[in-house]
Amino acid sequence: MQGPTPLQGTVRMAGAKNSALKLMAAALMVPGEVILERAPRITDVELMADVLRRLGATVERDGDTLTIDSSGDLQEETPYELVRKMRASIQVLGPLLARLGRARVSMPGGDAIGSRPIDLHLGGLERMGVKFTSQHGYIEGVVQRLKGTRVLLEFPSVGATENLLMAAVLAEGTTVIENAAREPEIQDLATFFQACGARVSGAGTPTIEIEGVEELSPTRHRIIPDRIEAGTFAIGAVASRGDVTLEDMEPIHIELPLQKLEEAGAEVRRSADSVRVRMSSRPRAIDLVTLPYPGFPTDLQPMMMVTLAQAAGSSILTENVFEARFLFVDELNRMGSHIRVEGHHAVIRGVERLSSAPVQVPDIRAGAALVLSGVCAEGVTEVYDGGHIERGYEDFVGKLGSLGADVEVRD
């Protein structure tokens, strides 16, 4: 891409990747046709569809709508070759144990942002009666019937909260998850289950209560908009000193990122389902820390790094969720930024303008950030391994192009 270009115009948000993947896993628990609307057209959703098909479900796509039918006999195993491509396939663990009383899933490895253990998932499911063994890189779990219980999570893990919530929906008795994650995607999952006849309360708060039911019935569900995509474009407007309106989104879902952009000098106008973000001068330096929701999302940290790399003054960015999420900083320093990493702090001394350079993408979010840095930099930037971005963003290059960016994909 050729820069610098201020992003200008209006862009519509797709459905949330981090909700769609869990709703697809949850559909394994519902006999009959589940219909998911606003399913983003991203490779991770296609990968999850492959996982479900491999388990015995049918998955049809018609535009933005997915129809999933799991009424046939299901398999219990998710093979390594699928799990290694996408960690989120671990989210079928709860649904398989709830539906079949057994599951065999490949142990997910770490990735570019951290070691990513699943001890909280397994610990909580063991408290619900599951016996786990692990062999040859696979975890096997068996249980007569899941039993409701109280689980206090050591950390409000999104994935562990979701796996336990899904397991508890068909368990015997009541489950209480304490120190639960509060992300909007958790609330979306609970709303879906309530529509299927489940008894879930407290989603979005630190304490979720689930009274198990015997069976669920199919439903049609509209997936919430993608707040990380919205945050990416909002931050892109500020980093490129542009003027962007985000449509078909929930402003409240990115309230803290919007406040931090205002602190950096942006003008933000919120309305019921859209936000306008405008930046006419160089950003001010600010400090921020990433935290579980409603704190500043770790998934927007790399884009904020690009903004602060061009700010007037020095900023400190602290990453509290994933220990290795600064890996892409070297790529940004190749573009002329001054960022020094000390443990989980990044000290960023802002420069007037980034300069173009060939860079390598390590993961979805760092990829989007490096493309944004190319939009802001003087000259032509080449971003390698851009395929990561398509895993999490629907038509990212097309949307940037509609905002005036000179970006193209080359094979």
Give the footprint of ligand EPZ on this chain (CB under 6 A): 17-18, 21, 88, 114, 116-121, 155, 157-160, 181, 298-299, 321-322, 364-365, 392
Q: Is 111 annotated as catalytic?
A: yes
Q: Residue 338 is encoded by which pair of tokens?
A: 């001054």
- Give the angle subtended at the CA of 394 by the CAs of 108 and 69, to the nearest 5°: 65
Closest separation between CB of residue 406 and ligand EPZ, Å?
26
Q: Give me the least distance between CB of 257 and ligand EPZ, in Å please.
A: 13
Distance CA 142, CA 69 (A): 24
Please identify, using beta-carbon distances, which residue of 187 and 356 lies nearer to ligand EPZ.
187
Closest to ligand EPZ by CB, 184 or 283: 184
Nearest distance, CB of residue 185 and ligand EPZ, angstroms: 6
- For ligand EPZ, the closer of residues 59 and 153 by Cβ is 153
Q: How far is the CB of 367 from ligand EPZ (least distance, A)?
A: 10
Residue among 50, 62, 69, 111 flagged as catalytic? 111
* Closer to ligand EPZ by Cβ: residue 251 or 362: 362
Task: Select 88 or 403, whichever has its Cβ closest to ligand EPZ.
Answer: 88
Taking the complex as a whole, the smallest distance from the CB of residue 47 to ligand EPZ amounts, in Å, to 11
| Nearer to ligand EPZ among residue 114 and residue 294 (C-beta) | 114
CA dist., res. 155 & res. 60, Å (int): 36
102 φψ region: left (φ > 0), alpha (ψ -120 to 50), beta (else): beta
Q: Which residue is nearest to ligand EPZ (CB)?
A: 159
Shortest reach from residue 217's CB to ligand EPZ, in Å? 26
Active site residues: 111
